[in-house]
A = this chain, B = another copy of it.
């Protein structure tokens, strides 16, 4: 019976109103007015989660925009102003009316930006079976960003040993993994990032063959020609716009471009024009947009590959974790100015 269920305060991060351009901290409200029962209602077959870590991801910016403002984003379900925003997180099951999960289970998947979340849609909620690695990794290396890197690099790009790989936003949640996968595959990999500190990480921590700060390059085409005198086989696209245009000029024949994100474009009313698409024709390039959800069936295979790499220290991961739900808006907003170094997440509660 739900009558005797404990009811607790439930702090939340609400979206104040639809956002134009990139979000600001003032676009969010920290609300302490909500309460929640720690039992799943009888009308639900879901789970009640205590959120431990929340993930800050660039796509979330798109969900803050008015869905009527851009027909291209039609497939994305925008946030509701006045309600808590949602995203990926790591959580502990407090109560379950679903046979797949039981009290005490650790899980990762879609959840709310609040202390406790009632989750009805469990299709992409994964049980965490391996806890000898940091739990926060399930917001990054072992969660959605890791699967994004894996499916985009291996499944979309079909890399071969010796190929030349370029990764933009390379120090980010996905990019740092792509670079390490590329090295483990025997590729030559160069990354771009937006600060000297990040470039240093790429070269000295993640083992990229080379890296550059795109903010210091007046001519991206020249920068790419310097790093790839014979051209690029694989481009892992996280940013779009001018970078994509310069990359197209430097792709090799039969090159592959996995379109994972276009963060430079997310705040623009009219996206930049890309002028060098004739490269796609003349160089017989395959450019493919993908979404991680289409590859979730490979998650176990992914774990079988990546967990040993972590344990053997063949893959490393840099996180930027802030403390407390109140720090969420600043952490999320910081993504769009590149303030974070490594995977940005928020620790909401201790296990």
Chain A residues proximal to chain B, CB less than 8 Å: 71-76, 240, 244, 248-249, 253, 259-262, 265, 270-291, 294
Contacts and interface: CB of A to CB of B under 8 A. Distances in A.
Given A244-B277, A288-B287, A282 B75 contact: yes
B72 A240 contact: no
Contacts of A276: 72, 271
A201 B289 CA distance: 35
A289 B285 contact: yes
14 contacts: A72-B282, A73-B282, A74-B282, A262-B281, A270-B275, A271-B275, A271-B278, A273-B273, A273-B274, A274-B277, A280-B289, A282-B289, A286-B287, A286-B289
User: Looking at A271, A282, A285, which has the most chain B CB atoms within 10 Å of its CB?
Assistant: A282
A280 B272 contact: no
A261 to B, nearest CB: 7
Given A71-B249, A249-B71, A262 B278 contact: yes
Contact of A284 (B265, B272, B283, B291): B291
Task: Report copies per complex.
Answer: 2
A328 to B, nearest CB: 25
Given A259-B280, A272-B275, A284-B288, 9 more contacts: A71-B249, A72-B282, A73-B282, A244-B277, A259-B277, A273-B274, A284-B289, A285-B289, A286-B288
Contacts of A76: 282
B283 A287 contact: no
A148 to B, nearest CB: 12
Q: Is the interface of A mostly helix, strand, loop or mixed?
A: mixed
Contacts of A261: 281
A290 B284 contact: yes
A226 to B, nearest CB: 15
B277 A262 contact: yes
A277 B283 contact: no
A75 B253 contact: yes
A278 B240 contact: yes
Contact of A249 (B72, B75, B286): B72
Q: Which 10 A-B pairs have the closest CB atoms?
A: A273-B273, A281-B289, A280-B289, A286-B288, A259-B281, A287-B287, A284-B289, A271-B275, A274-B274, A259-B280
A148 B244 CA distance: 28
Contacts of A286: 286-289
